[in-house]
Copies of this chain bind each other. A is one copy, B any other.
């Protein structure tokens, strides 16, 4: 805070953003509540909460102030306009809690409403300079490294997530092969939709939440964020990209991708798979404390280019070959710092406690296949880079 000249951080936890408000969750232990966290320099954070949520507020372990300390209803009587009432409430809060100087706002919320609110606040409270940080804000940077307890939580989420992948493979293999298809007991084809339903049960059983995941076959596997068509039958010899990124009740994510072919893999898929695996292993050997994420992205691009694949480095708009970045930080968000951008400024350096995905891939939608291999890695206190994803990486699943 001192480095950035910030006197106070205010982290808003508005209604409806549960699970999508990592800055707020970082302070509130992912408790389900609406409130506002105030951090004054060199002081402990304070949570403003509502009576209805006093149990959740208690469970955060933070110092607490009930919003009832301020006469919210009287303010609304005097200022029926909700924007004016909100500004008036904050004036009183700022006065009582000695909030002044450079005050930066964080948290996830309706961007238009907060733009209107913060503008009016800046106009009407001249003793406060309202600040918004655009890139790598102070909370994102704090969240960029994880402490040993967070790593242990993430290790457990990783184990549970991998168990779901293993159970899914078992489920698929439990079906009968007929010609090039897998069939259910009723003789109809096993579909992507059937597998997705199974995955959702397995996630729920293990207390994992996933707003979405990818189980895409053939051409769809060739489009990185295609989540898969529920009606597609599960056929032999086609690449299946299974990308699972759930979080547990504490809000921490895992992210893993495996690509497999049932029964056999065509030779061109085997070749591309080998290229991806070798890129994966080569870049993992290069990770080093102090390394700049962008250099690893460039390394992988060049690795693939040497093998004859297009990449985003030489052809930023390509939809064939290697079409995305190497990975992303992971924690209370599925995409957070550090990023591995191909272009633009990249000031981050790899450090002890960072958790990030490593996910090279090759995509050939027109040829009907795509491959991505992804583990979640972390850098331990000795500067060693280790996988949190205990799962084999085999292309061919024998039936």
Contacts and interface: CB of A to CB of B under 8 A. Distances in A.
A39 to B, nearest CB: 13
How many copies of this protein are present in the complex? 2
B115 A105 contact: yes
A77 B346 CA distance: 12
Contacts of A52: 223-225, 323-324
A15 interface: yes
Contacts of A22: 16
Contact of A334 (B16, B68, B209, B317): B16
A79 to B, nearest CB: 8
A148 interface: no
Contacts of A135: 81-83, 113
B344 A76 contact: yes
A375 interface: no
A142 to B, nearest CB: 14
Interface in A100-148: 104-119, 130-135, 137
A73 B342 contact: yes
B118 A111 contact: yes
Contacts of A220: 55
Contacts of A56: 225-227
A334 B14 CA distance: 13
Interface in A194-208: 197, 200-201, 203-205, 207
Nearest to A117: B134
Nearest to A86: B134
Interface string A274-318: 000000000000000000000000000000000000001000110
Interface in A142-194: none
A80 B345 contact: yes
A211 interface: yes
B119 A111 contact: no
A63 interface: no
A108 B342 CA distance: 26
A23 interface: yes
A384 interface: no
Contact of A105 (B33, B80, B112, B227): B112
A381 interface: no
A226 B342 CA distance: 46
A319 interface: yes
A344 B51 contact: no
A77 B294 CA distance: 13
21 contacts: A16-B333, A16-B335, A18-B20, A19-B20, A20-B20, A20-B108, A54-B223, A71-B316, A72-B316, A73-B342, A76-B341, A77-B344, A83-B135, A107-B110, A107-B112, A108-B110, A111-B114, A111-B118, A112-B131, A117-B134, A209-B211
Interface of A: 12, 15-23, 32-33, 51-56, 68, 71-73, 76-77, 79-83, 85-86, 104-119, 130-135, 137, 197, 200-201, 203-205, 207, 209, 211-212, 220, 223-227, 312, 316-317, 319, 323-324, 333-335, 341-345
Given A55-B226, A201-B205, 17 more contacts: A16-B334, A33-B225, A51-B317, A52-B223, A56-B225, A68-B317, A72-B316, A72-B343, A73-B343, A77-B343, A79-B344, A108-B109, A112-B134, A114-B114, A115-B130, A116-B131, A117-B132
